[in-house]
Structure 1
Amino acid sequence: MELDAFDASLGQWPHLPFHCTGLLLGNGASRALWRNFAYDSLFERAQKVRNKPLGQTDLALFKSMGTENFEQVLSALNTTVRVNAALAISASAPLNRYYAIKEALIHAMRSAHIPFRLLPGEHLQAMARHLREYTTVYSSNYDLLVTWAVEQAPEGFDELFDVDLGFDVRRVRSDATRVLHLHGGLHLIRQVDGTTRKRNAVGSALLDGFAINQPGEVPLFVNEGRREDKLRAIRQSDYLSWCHAQLAQHQGPLCLFGHSLGEQDRYLLEAIEQAGVQQLAVSIFPLSDAWILSQKHYFTTLFAGREVQFFDATSHPLGAPSLNVPVPKPAVKRKR
């Protein structure tokens, strides 16, 4: 359809003609609450942080592996350290790089992520109440907002990890809401054997110590990067590959909130197509009439042949202006 076939009107979330059984969250959902989540690339941010940024040697490692994904590089360094130890070869160089990259990652994430102390409990409870309205919540964000919301009000959410916090694909699905982190998260750990466990921490400790793990363990999350890069990381993880398969089997209408389904996430579109989803509700933030028209054209083309309902993102419970937390201005140092 041509651009002039659309108008700039948007529906309101409460008045949509169908009920969505699934919710796919993108970066826009996090930005609605904390605008500092509007960074383009965590990899780029880690090169520019004030404290301990990625150095030239670190960047050379990422380049040699053809990736911008921290988890892949840290896992490779872990493997190198273990192999060197078995062969009685000095592991100091890869170990130093491992800690340097982890430190840059920590500073980059803390510079962007909302501190737990600034997030009102009533915000998290409001988020949890809405998330429980879906059968499955699929989040492609690796921040802790959804995790903190479920932690604040856990009733009604399905627990996919066993008593030892390990991921168990054999767990029986209940009628409770499942929250699946398609790209992992700061609350998840990739263990030495490749399996996944949830970190034994809550609240601010989840953010403060997300990269402080046992030897051989690394945070399990897929940061920004090429499509092929993300797919490789997903296939190498039992948890991520299972979550991706669940999206490809989704039943019922699906809501896209704050998600652009851009080229680097095209595999998510392919999973939605494989699931045969026929009704979609797509949020649009009303920046301008031109923006609304371009978004309508983009998603209508993307989901040709299916029913697509567009709604004002600010009318959605997760996009309500009342949930936004102002970012404090940095303190200005006075000259003496």
Structure 2
Amino acid sequence: MPSLDSQLAQWSDLDARHPCTALLLGNGASRVLWKPFGYFSLYEHAQKAGRKSGLAISDQALFKSLGTELFEPVLSMLNTTVRTNAALAINSTAPLNRYYSIKEALIHALRAVHPPHALLSSATMATINAALRQYRSVYTSNYDLILPWAMEQAPQGFARLFDDEGFFDVRRTASPGTRVLHLHGGLHLLKLPDGSTRQRSAIGAELLEGVAVNIPGEVPLFVNEDRSEHKLRAIRQSDYLSWSLAQLAGEQGGLCLFGQHLDSSDEHLLLAIRQARPKHLCIAIRPLNDASILNQKQYFTERLAGAVDGALHFFDASSHPLGAAELALPVPLTHARRL
């Protein structure tokens, strides 16, 4: 392993010498804007929210029996049970009641950690929009609404991966412009019983508020807080998610990692990068101090050993347009109390 130092390149200089055609975003990118996007567990938050807005004891027992802390598979299972009961003329409202109860707890947890649309200025959204359009493909493991909201600001220049009715069709993905792919789903996406994917038509604040709409048969499509193998299992059950992961596994140009730690819970993303063997990797690092920089460089050097045909390049995260300090949103006191 080559010797490491605490020096970090500036993004503009590094990009000129080693341009990247693809960007992979992680939780750190969202935390630049909104500190409550820390490595929280939605399940734990919903569990602790209390009887009025959190998971009921019977809801928690259901998660435990299925061996998961993911909302999507539990809601999907309940939807299947409701349809099966209806087909067999079984008169039981329990599965539907549990569906609504768990969905309500999820909604409260999401609203507690997500920034309101009103806090994001047009200038902030324009900055993010312009930064995304510098790449051919943008991959994100985040399921928040920051990128969909930013793309609304000026949709020209972004590829259309969903048809006019909002449905994804893997046969119709050849569209000009920057592709934005949500590897773990998002709050703007819905999974249908047959595994197909629909993008919600709402925009702006309604995209967050509308998560509360309960339509049996459709569940929010996002994969969160669990082991990598559990995430991969959920990804394989979705046409859109499996296609998106396969696209990452084919990225052979320069790839930029921003806010993406590639820890053990995202082992499937690391394996996709290893399969792709990109030309080079440019990795954003927060320059807290010299020791922190060295530790991060060593971590990525060891973690990505043999995963890239070229070299690893490290740069100061704050020098990238998506890492600018002025993007940070103030957390209102009333919002912070809910966390």
TM-score tier by shorter-chain length is over 0.9
Q: What does 1:1-336 correspond to in 2, within 5 Å?
A: 1=1, 5-16=3-14, 17-49=17-49, 51-305=52-306, 306=308, 307-330=311-334
Aligned counterparts of 2:203 and 2:229: Cα–Cα separation in 1: 33
Aligned-residue offset at 1:45: 1.3
Unaligned runs of 5+ in 2: none
The Cα offsets for residues 236-266 of structure 1, whole Å up to 9 and x where unpaired, read as 0000000011001113010000000001101
Runs of 4 or more, structure 1, over 4 Å off, are none
Which is further off, 180-189 or 222-231?
A: 222-231
Q: Secondary structure at the match of 1:146?
A: helix
* 2:78 counterpart letter in structure 1: L
* 1:8 counterpart letter in structure 2: S
Aligned counterparts of 1:172 and 1:52: Cα–Cα separation in 2: 40
Aligned length: 331
Aligned-residue offset at 1:128: 0.7
Is the Cα contact below 8 Å between 1:184 and 1:222 reproduced in 2? yes
Is the Cα contact below 8 Å between 1:67 and 1:225 reproduced in 2? yes
In structure 2, do the counterparts of structure 1 residues 172 and 112 end up closer, same or farther at CA, with 3 Å as the change threshold? closer
The Cα offsets for residues 1-58 of structure 1, whole Å up to 9 and x where unpaired, read as 49xx322221111110211100000000000011111142111111123551112211
Q: Secondary structure at the match of 2:313?
A: strand
Unaligned runs of 5+ in 1: none
Q: Secondary structure at the match of 1:318?
A: helix
Is the Cα contact below 8 Å between 1:21 and 1:251 reproduced in 2? no
Aligned counterparts of 1:271 and 1:282: Cα–Cα separation in 2: 16
In structure 2, do the counterparts of structure 1 residues 288 and 91 end up closer, same or farther at CA, with 3 Å as the change threshold? farther
In structure 2, do the counterparts of structure 1 residues 287 and 119 end up closer, same or farther at CA, with 3 Å as the change threshold? same
Is the Cα contact below 8 Å between 2:228 and 2:265 reproduced in 1? yes
Is the Cα contact below 8 Å between 1:211 and 1:218 reproduced in 2? no
Which is further off, 29-38 or 85-94?
A: 85-94
Which is further off, 252-261 or 171-180?
A: 171-180
Aligned counterparts of 1:196 and 1:332: Cα–Cα separation in 2: 33
* 1:161 counterpart letter in structure 2: F
| TM-score, structure 2 normalization | 0.94
Aligned counterparts of 1:283 and 1:331: Cα–Cα separation in 2: 29
Aligned-residue offset at 1:153: 1.1
* 2:107 counterpart letter in structure 1: I
Is the Cα contact below 8 Å between 1:69 and 1:225 reproduced in 2? yes
Is the Cα contact below 8 Å between 2:54 and 2:105 reproduced in 1? yes
In structure 2, do the counterparts of structure 1 residues 172 and 240 end up closer, same or farther at CA, with 3 Å as the change threshold? closer
The Cα offsets for residues 71-127 of structure 1, whole Å up to 9 and x where unpaired, read as 100000011111112222233111111111101100000000000011101111110
Q: How large is the Cα RMSD of the aligned pairs?
A: 1.6
